[in-house]
Structure 1
Amino acid sequence: MLNLFNKALSLPEKTAIIDSEGSHSFQKLNTYSDQIASFLLQGNPDLNEKRVAFMVNPDFDYVKIQWAIWKAGGIAVPLCITYPLPSLTYVIEDTQTEIIIAGPEYVELLSKYAKEKGIRFLNLSDLESSGSSPILPEIESSRGAMILYTSGTTSLPKGVLTTHANIESQISTLIEAWKWTEKDHTLCLLPLHHVHGIINVVSCALWSGATVEFLHPFDAKQVFGKFLEGKINVFMAVPTIYFKLVSEFESSSEKEKDALFECMKQFRLMVSGSAALPVSVMEKWKAISGHYLLERYGMTEIGMAISNPYEGPRKAGYIGKPLPGVKTRLVDEENRPVDSGQPGEIQIQGPSVFKEYWGKPEATAKSFTSDGWFKTGDVAVIEEGYFRILGRDSVDIIKSGGYKISALEIEEVMRKHPLIKDCGVVGIPDEEWGELVSAALVTQEPMDLKVLNQWMREQMPAYKTPRKYLILNELPRNAMGKVVKNELKKLFNQESK
């Protein structure tokens, strides 16, 4: 029995999940996932790590399917519910999926494709089965459990294979660091094809015996309505969600604001991650909720590795200190440890680190050092014991005129301008400079870019100020709200033609 399922046995009557259909107990989750696991097995003793892709809305159905795949010995491949068919088929074909499960909303999208490819297709509506307790395989923790795909912000997405042992390490580390208990009640707004939603929210809660409430699709007013019910005490989101909640709060009446502030300040924990949180949003959230958001750092390949403390000072703009059981180091381009206070690539070692990129042995080998450290590609500096991210070496570190410049640092300064709603900074190839610092802007109203440039030069050294600007209605983002910087670069290149 995997550790994740233990609470389903020890707290059978407790509410595990709340969704639009009502409340679901741990016993119900355990029973339904057992039955579906039996259905998947078709009388066979074990799925033996067959890949099972599933496209199911974020609710009780999602969790019971995921648990069923694991109980049957399969590898779960959650599909993004907003992806078009070509993006879905890339994942299905790359993982060599043998079974596809679709919720009723997605049957039409996937059933014809599955039939053409000869893949076993299951409609979620047909999976309810009764009968006696099924005989399920014993699952070793070293076996493959899940394949999630990298965000593809810098290259074609890669399938990240984690074992049950990796997942258990990721979950137990966060439960210890963030003090999860069965008394907690959290709200899940995050996509469930990413580690943030699957591990940090859903799996940590269920392992602890806590309750997960789902709200889909996202609606800021409804989120605050859930808060005001007074049950939720743990909340995790990405910066774009916090930005939208701040906007909703600011449009509320004074009476509503007072009620929300009193409600939110009672929360035990509020976390932000998956993208850099602007200091301005951190400060606004503190003013409206009483909470200094806990920022943390993680990746699909490693789960969470670094976090601001649950108890103790949290520093805006910093991702914190290594989590329990996680080894970290900063190195230069020759893999040599950097001096104190100097920037270097974050490298990670520990039981939470993934097994391999699915079907890509060369990419796997390149991502590890000869002595077994995972190379994150993220550049950081340690200041007073806290890690501060400077950016991804490939997209956020701009090499211009002999300088290495952090795009994230420039973005943070630009967001302080009263007319700038959002921004993304990239390096565009240039013969003279190597790369030109270039900024895409979403503005409140038309701006004089010469005036903006002068303002920027008053905020930071001239060599860091953008030499090229592009005004957009919105920035290209992926499902987790991260700006897709390669798409931004394409927009600048189109503009210059």
Structure 2
Amino acid sequence: MASPLVERLAQLGSSARTAVEDDRGQTTFAALTERALRVRGALLADGGRGAGAHASPSSLEGERILLLVPPGAAWVSAFLGVLLAGGIALPLSALYPPAELAWLASDAGVRRILVGDELAAVAAPIAQGRSVLRVEDFERAAPGPEGALSDIAADDPALLLYTSGTTGKPKGALLTHRNLAVQAELLRAAWGFSEHDALLHALPLHHLHGVVIALTTSLLAGSATRMLPRFDAQRVAAEIARGSVTAFMAVPTMYQRLFEQIDRGGAPGFAAGARALRLATSGSAALPVTLAERWRDLTGAIPLERFGMTEIGVGLSNPLDPAGRRAGWVGFPLPTVEARITDDAGNASEWAPGDAPGEAPARPGGAAVARGELWIRGPSVFKGYLGREDATAAAFQDGWFRTGDVAERSSDGRFRLLGRTSVDILKSGGYKLSALEIEEALREHGAIAEVAVIGVPDEAWGERVVAVVVAAPGREAECATGPLRAWAKERLAPYKVPRESIVVPSLPRNAMGKVVKPELVKAIAASGSGGKDPSAR
């Protein structure tokens, strides 16, 4: 079967509508396709020098091409050009230190790097033994052999994204042409994307959220994508205030920064522009209910929350209709997505597309369950981890991908995430606790600006529940252990109350705004905590 992604791009390839708008101007679908074909042609023409013996004159045959290109039309044309040449795109962040870039390039077996002029210095430390090709040089390249595009198959790998590495070194997840096309079509239908939309894009492009959920969905729907160089709260607020975009995708930290910009009085016209948005989504981390409610107060609707991860794409989503959304919940399985909840005893319940909301069948046998580890199955689930057959095998059971997230399902069919089985599910004093639930309660405290709840190894408790807090300016004393515990005891069961509170200037986050809890656990355990700032070590 031919690649549905390539087929859809061919349908859009002659359109005069705007595909990408960046700080250099607008690029139509026709112009973007022409540029992508020139990238393809240049890669194939260079194959004998850079790709080694694995490439043919008409296909890169799965060669991994590293992308170090600033966000914008040039990035999109480079990305699509790699895919149209039969290669695998590996987008990486220019913010990575040289040692990390070198490790990732080596792990992926990269022989060639596509680089934008602005990032040539970033590529220099990892260029030894590799070909570095300037995207700007491809404007004069030939488009490549005709007719070979139909040879790209649906199950050919297209994209390599490295996981965050919370359980060790990052692993490269391979996504196929089918994975990308299925995911884009699911979200187009579920979220109502069309050629009349304009998406504001300020997400990192080396993560699933930025490159697949946002960019690929918008492109394949025929929508325009307004791409910013990076997230900047003042710039994003101004773009939304202009009223020219209809959709915005973000992570919770972005919403937090936007509200801080509003509170400083630096977002004139933002409220009216935000109310004009057809769609605002949140993902990559749990959206605090307080932020969801503040967005609702501003716009009339809470952001659409969904659940996704590199290996599965978006599997669960709240409805497009704001009336059907529920703060703190990630909604229902999308069409083609099967969901399963498995408890520690091996009991499981499964839900297929179209199952009635109240059904909780115990399909493999045993008792029906509504709380446990979430497993996902469907055509958007990834191909496997590059070069890690053992890790791939361990990630699946009976065809199901084990997400490592603990979830519960309500009687009306909605799913809610309780946290990762590793860092967000704490075992303290014989109790199994949800760090996310405790965090949500603590965010009601007016002196707490940000909070992460973690479990620190403890001989007496197994894990000691610790709240790591960023205090509001001038209110640090209220966040100390004594006052915070007294406040929390009125709102949480005794065994859920943090035994310790540590005030820090900031929380460590990855590129998608997720708090890197393993770093906190390691630092606090090493310092002995005792109320000390682990970041001061």
Q: Which category describes the TM-score, using the shorter chain as reference length? A: over 0.9
Deviations 1:264-303 (A, max 9, x none): 2221111000000000011111112222110000000000
Between 1:154-163 and 1:349-358, the stretch displaced more is 154-163
1:32 maps to amino acid: R
| 2:469 maps to 1:461 | no
For 1:439-450, list aligned pairs within 5 A.
439-444=467-472, 445-447=475-477, 448-450=480-482
Name the counterpart of 1:358. 386
Question: Secondary structure at 1:459's aligned position in 2?
Answer: coil
Match of residue 279, structure 1, among 278, 282, 289 = 289
Name the CA shift for 1:453/1:403 in 2 (closer, same or farther; >3 Å): same
| 2:70 maps to 1:60 | no
Q: TM-score, normalised by structure 1?
A: 0.95
Shift of 1:348: 0.3
- With a CA cutoff of 8 Å and minimum separation of 6, indicate the structure with the bigger relative contact order: 1
Task: Kindly indicate whether the alpha-carbon contact (under 8 Å) linking 1:52 and 1:101 is maintained by their aligned counterparts in 2.
Answer: yes
Task: Kindly indicate whether the alpha-carbon contact (under 8 Å) linking 2:275 and 2:299 is maintained by their aligned counterparts in 1.
Answer: yes
Question: Secondary structure at 1:187's aligned position in 2?
Answer: strand
For 1:102-181, list aligned pairs within 5 A.
102-115=115-128, 118-131=129-142, 134-135=145-146, 136-137=148-149, 138-181=151-194
Match of residue 265, structure 1, among 275, 280, 294 = 275
| 2:331 maps to 1:328 | no
Using the alignment, how far apart are the partners of 1:54 and 1:452 within structure 2?
A: 47
Match of residue 403, structure 1, among 408, 415, 431 = 431
Task: Kindly indicate whether the alpha-carbon contact (under 8 Å) linking 1:273 and 1:295 is maintained by their aligned counterparts in 2.
Answer: yes
Name the counterpart of 1:9. 13
Task: Kindly indicate whether the alpha-carbon contact (under 8 Å) linking 1:340 and 1:382 is maintained by their aligned counterparts in 2.
Answer: no
Match of residue 451, structure 2, among 423, 426, 432 = 423
Using the alignment, how far apart are the partners of 2:7 and 2:301 within structure 1?
A: 32
Using the alignment, how far apart are the partners of 1:269 and 1:460 within structure 2?
A: 34
Task: Kindly indicate whether the alpha-carbon contact (under 8 Å) linking 2:41 and 2:142 is maintained by their aligned counterparts in 1.
Answer: no
Task: Kindly indicate whether the alpha-carbon contact (under 8 Å) linking 1:260 and 1:289 is maintained by their aligned counterparts in 2.
Answer: no
Shift of 1:260: 2.7
Name the counterpart of 2:31. 28
2:32 maps to amino acid: L
Question: Secondary structure at 1:438's aligned position in 2?
Answer: strand
Note the residue ranges of structure 1 that are not aligned, 5 or more in a row.
Answer: none
Question: Secondary structure at 2:490's aligned position in 1?
Answer: helix
Using the alignment, how far apart are the partners of 2:281 and 2:83 within structure 1?
A: 28
Q: TM-score, normalised by structure 2?
A: 0.88
Using the alignment, how far apart are the partners of 1:50 and 1:302 within structure 2?
A: 23
Match of residue 197, structure 1, among 210, 213, 238 = 210
Task: Kindly indicate whether the alpha-carbon contact (under 8 Å) linking 1:3 and 1:168 is maintained by their aligned counterparts in 2.
Answer: no
Using the alignment, how far apart are the partners of 1:235 and 1:283 within structure 2?
A: 17
Match of residue 478, structure 1, among 471, 485, 510 = 510
Name the CA shift for 1:296/1:80 in 2 (closer, same or farther; >3 Å): same
Shift of 1:410: 0.7
The count of aligned residue pairs is: 490
Task: Kindly indicate whether the alpha-carbon contact (under 8 Å) linking 1:441 and 1:470 is maintained by their aligned counterparts in 2.
Answer: yes
Match of residue 40, structure 1, among 40, 43, 58 = 43
Question: Secondary structure at 2:158's aligned position in 1?
Answer: strand
2:180 maps to amino acid: I
Task: Kindly indicate whether the alpha-carbon contact (under 8 Å) linking 2:204 and 2:230 is maintained by their aligned counterparts in 1.
Answer: no
Name the counterpart of 2:298. 288
Using the alignment, how far apart are the partners of 1:175 and 1:446 within structure 2?
A: 45
Task: Kindly indicate whether the alpha-carbon contact (under 8 Å) linking 2:20 and 2:27 is maintained by their aligned counterparts in 1.
Answer: yes
Task: Kindly indicate whether the alpha-carbon contact (under 8 Å) linking 1:154 and 1:486 is maintained by their aligned counterparts in 2.
Answer: no
Between 1:75-84 and 1:334-343, the stretch displaced more is 334-343
Shift of 1:226: 1.2
Shift of 1:91: 1.3
Using the alignment, how far apart are the partners of 1:472 and 1:7 within structure 2?
A: 52
Name the CA shift for 1:102/1:131 in 2 (closer, same or farther; >3 Å): closer
| 2:378 maps to 1:367 | no
Note the residue ranges of structure 2 that are not aligned, 5 or more in a row.
Answer: 48-56, 350-366, 530-537
Name the CA shift for 1:93/1:432 in 2 (closer, same or farther; >3 Å): same
| 2:369 maps to 1:337 | no
Shift of 1:133: 6.4
Using the alignment, how far apart are the partners of 2:395 and 2:142 within structure 1?
A: 47
Shift of 1:340: 5.7
Task: Kindly indicate whether the alpha-carbon contact (under 8 Å) linking 1:55 and 1:81 is maintained by their aligned counterparts in 2.
Answer: yes
State the superposition RMSD in angstroms.
Answer: 1.7
Task: Kindly indicate whether the alpha-carbon contact (under 8 Å) linking 1:149 and 1:158 is maintained by their aligned counterparts in 2.
Answer: yes
